[in-house]
Amino acid sequence: MKLSSILKCVFQNIFRIKYFFLRNLNVSGNQMSSVDSFIRRFKYSVNGDNNLMTLNRIWGTNISIIIDGKGNQIFLSGEARNCSFEIYGDNNVVELFDIKYQGVKFIMRGNDCKIHIGQRSSCGGGRFVVMGKSNEIFIGKDCQFADNIEIWATDSHPILISDKVINPNKPVVIGNHVWLGAYVKILKGVTIEDNAIVGMNSVVTRSIKSKTLNVGYPAQCIKENVDWNRNFLI
């Protein structure tokens, strides 16, 4: 292959994301900014106006974004593979800072909701769901989540008694340096404090204290004053 052809191929790949947006994003009032970002197999659909997408040094493969509403914001930085983002509603925010995520589906339905993930956090796969009004999932810095993690800040559908909803949406808050094992499920209204550990297949239905090891269905504390790091056991 000639050098000119190689350079042309590299140029097209590096700037593909900008090219797609500049050519195809024609919804009035929507904006996209990209800084040093490269995404292969990128899909998006935008229905609405005044939506903002900021890609800041994001490297990824097979990313899809669906926005149906107005005034929504997405900020992505880090590494992402096989991730999807679905936002239905107005004035919602998704912000992922210097993350390393793969196989995660983010779903947001409602208004003024938020998903925040702090720096140096990683996840091997799962589903994060936020619904309602001013609801959120907040994840701190340096968290390590294994695969098939589910975080639900909602029950998705109302349960009624005499026409009154008895299962309102509630936020999920996860602190810094939290480790979740494979197949962990976090339910609405839960707070997990800094440096906590949740063992695989656990279902977290109530809040967890800092520096504790928790397992079971529902998850219960079995050890206190624990710590962890990302090194492998050898």
Please report the pLDDT score of residue 27 as a whole number.
54
Domain annotation covers residue 55: yes
**Could you give the count of Cα atoms lying within 13 Å of 172 in the half-sphere of its Cβ?**
23
Q: What is the pLDDT along the chain (234 residues), one digit of tens a residue?
A: 544 454 344 334 444 444 344 333 445 678 888 888 888 888 888 999 999 999 888 898 999 999 999 999 999 999 999 999 999 999 999 999 999 999 999 999 999 999 999 999 999 999 999 999 999 999 999 999 999 999 999 999 999 999 999 999 999 999 999 999 999 999 999 999 999 999 999 999 999 999 999 999 999 999 999 999 999 999
Domain annotation covers residue 77: yes
H-helix or E-strand spanning residue 127: strand 126-133
**Could you give the count of Cα atoms lying within 13 Å of 45 in the half-sphere of its Cβ?**
7
Query: CATH no. for residue 38?
Result: 2.160.10.10
Q: Would you say 169 and 188 are in contact if contact means Cβ atoms under 8 Å apart? A: yes
Please report the pLDDT score of residue 24 as a whole number.
39
CB atoms within 10 A of CB 191: 16
Model pTM score: 0.88
Domain annotation covers residue 81: yes
Domain annotation covers residue 92: yes
Q: What is the DSSP string of 98-119?
A: EEEEESEEEEEEEES-EEEE-T
Domain annotation covers residue 12: yes
Nearest to 37 by CA among 61, 8, 1, 5: 61
Number of domains in the chain: 1
Give the integer Cα–Cα distance in Å for 22 and 136. Answer: 31
- Domain span at residue 160 reads 3-224
Please report the pLDDT score of residue 28 as a whole number.
62
In degrees and rounded to multiples of 5, residue 5 shows phi and psi of -70, -40
